[in-house]
Amino acid sequence: MSATTILPVASGRVTVATFWRNLRRCPLLAWASVVTSVAASGAAVVVPILLGRLVDLVVAGGSVDALLATSAWILGAGLMAAVLTGASRWLVTEWGMRACADLREEVLDRALRMDSARLESAGSGDVASRVTGDVEQVADSIRLAAGIFTALVTVVITFAGFATLDWRIALAFLIVFPVHVLSLRRFVPRAKRLYAAEREAAAVRTQSLLTTFTGARTVHAYGMAQRQGQRVDGASRNAVTARLRAVRGFLWFANMMNYAEAIGLTAVLLTGFLLVRAGESSVGDVTAAALLFHRLFGPLGMLLISFNDVQSAGAALARLVGITGLDVPESRARAGDRPAGGIGAKAIGHHYPGGPTVVHDVSVEIAEGESLAVVGESGAGKTTLAAILGGVFPAAEGEVLLGGRPIADLDPAELRRTVGVVTQEVHVFAGTLADDLRLAAPDAAEEQLWEALRLVGADQWVAALPEGLHTRVGEGDHPVTPGQAQQVALARVALLDPPIVVLDEASAEAGSAGARQLELASAALVRGRTAVVVAHRLTQAQSCDRIAVMAHGRIVELGTPEELVAAGGRYAELWAAWQR
């Protein structure tokens, strides 16, 4: 599967327009960059022209004073050019970096707000490679862009320098351009294709690596290590092949550039020789022209070679801008909007991309304040149904109503205030525990954080941490157990204080003592709310108002715990076995 076919890549026009918009956000830096670059190039062009004068002075047997004065001017112009070039590089880099930082923020913002169904079908590898590799590539290219900008100004100013010399020598120099134009015309469209293919192959490689690592347990469990290894191998080989193709294309172009320069310098020197012989030009003018031309090698080469990196950075930039253009629903809700009420599921059906139907025609009404436990064998579809009811992703078929309103009509902010979801994948984010909790309620006072922790029974172990709430937790910092991570996730929901909660196996991760603790935490969170609880422990199901038993994606039994036990069906069997 090609991951890049799913998330959009911006067109060239949109990419340029977006980056230009970001560049224009710093007008002062922009002007300072242009002015210093022009001044730096101007000073640098003066040097070869003065050197030409020096040659003429020597040929004409000029005075020592005149020679010294010209030399002093050359020295001054050289020093000024060096200082101004440094300043302009710094300014241009700063300008570009700011534009790039703005873009990176936009991309991250969009990526984080992207709806999970889209993220799932695109594959997190594509998003990951965009917000890491592509962002880095664009950021690296900013230094290059600064070089390109200065080179461009140098080329323009050097041309102006040529105008002060014999026009026929300048004309001879123009011979390089047809060669450059022809090779660019052949190289540019090819490079565009080659670099886009290279980035796509890299994204597929990232995707295949990510799925291998995230699914490591499954890979081991099914003895798929070798097959999965071959898959990653294949993706890596494709990425290397794509890179080599791009490099080969570039080498051809670099060769053409060398030919053009050799032809150009020969033409300038030959024309100069003929003009001097005919007495129509001075040796000094020809020297200045040759030096100017030689000065152009660097910037001109830089501009042309950069086409290579510009193409590559352009491909990365287009992938970033593609994400900034994604439609993410803006919040229309006012603070405090919170459609309370129950949950209504009407004929819900679902399948994962390319997979079979895993939830079939599920309809269930959960009244306001009522709790529904969902039980069933592994793979019965409990997690999928809970995720749909909690608005984690939309159902492929049917409709979910929250407080009588279709879930699709709620914007993300409203949805978050309405339903609190704890999934099986709880995560403790790097930072202090207080920061982690405040992800749910940024303005929560410390006392509110403690209250939430008390509700889920986490206050004691948090108080025992070296710096309490201000202890840094997560990877590389103070470790937390899976059970503690689940308590933190539950405390975040408590802070959100939503009228509806969806808890998916919040007690499954813990050992038996911790499991009881988590069960109590979930029960405290469920109290007074409409709740869906995916329960592996039947004691948890027993404490809910009603229980839905799922099998093969369908609800096969639905009723109060007493009704189901009395009915003597599947649940009664499970309950009897559980009590033994």
Which residues make up the interface to ligand ATP (CB under 6 A)? 352, 355, 358, 376, 378-384
Residue (124 or 164) nearer to ligand ATP, CB: 124
Do the beta carbons of residue 521 and residue 420 sit within 8 Å? Answer: no
* Spatial CA neighbour of 340 closest among 400, 404, 394, 421: 404
Cβ proximity to ligand ATP: between 216 and 566 the closer is 216
389 vs 523, which CB is nearer to ligand ATP? 389
CB closer to ligand ATP out of 288 and 358: 358
- Closer residue to ligand ATP (CB): 282 or 507: 507
Strands (E), 449-566: 472-473, 500-504, 530-534, 546-551, 554-559
User: Distance between CA 321 and CA 302 in Å, rounded?
Assistant: 26
CB of 344 to ligand ATP, least distance (A): 20
Which helix (H) or strand (E) segment holds residue 375: the answer is: strand 371-376
Whole-number minimum distance, CB 503 to ligand ATP, in Å?
Answer: 13
Orientation angle between helical segments 135-163 and 27-59, nearest 10 degrees: 40
328/321 Cα distance (integer angstroms): 14
* One-letter identity of residue 249: G
> 48 vs 381, which CB is nearer to ligand ATP?
381
Angle at Cα 424 formed by Cα 423 and Cα 428, nearest 5°?
80
Distance CA 477, CA 430 (A): 8
**Spatial CA neighbour of 547 closest among 421, 420, 371:** 371
The two structure tokens encoding residue 385: 């149904």
Residue number with CB closer to ligand ATP (151 or 426) = 426
Q: 351-381 in b/e burial notation, b at 16+ Cβ within 10 A? A: beeeeeebbbebebebeebbbbbbbbeeebb
CB of 422 to ligand ATP, least distance (A): 14
Cα–Cα nearest to 476, from 433, 430, 432: 430
Closest CA to 95 of 157, 143, 148: 143
d(CA 178, CA 188): 15
Residue 504: CB minimum distance to ligand ATP, A: 8
Closest separation in Å from C-beta 139 to ligand ATP: 33
- For residues 62 and 215, which CB has a smaller minimum distance to ligand ATP in the complex? 215
The distance of closest approach from Cβ of residue 549 to ligand ATP in the complex, given in angstroms and rounded to an integer, is: 11
Quote the least distance from Cβ 561 to ligand ATP, whole Å. 19
For ligand ATP, the closer of residues 180 and 382 by Cβ is: 382
Looking at beta carbons only, is 223 or 355 nearer to ligand ATP?
Answer: 355
* Tokens coding 112: 């984080």
Write down the least CB distance from residue 506 to ligand ATP, Å: 13
Smallest separation (angstroms) from ligand ATP to the CB of 378: 3
Rg (CA), the chain: 34
Q: How far is the CB of 557 from ligand ATP (least distance, A)?
A: 15
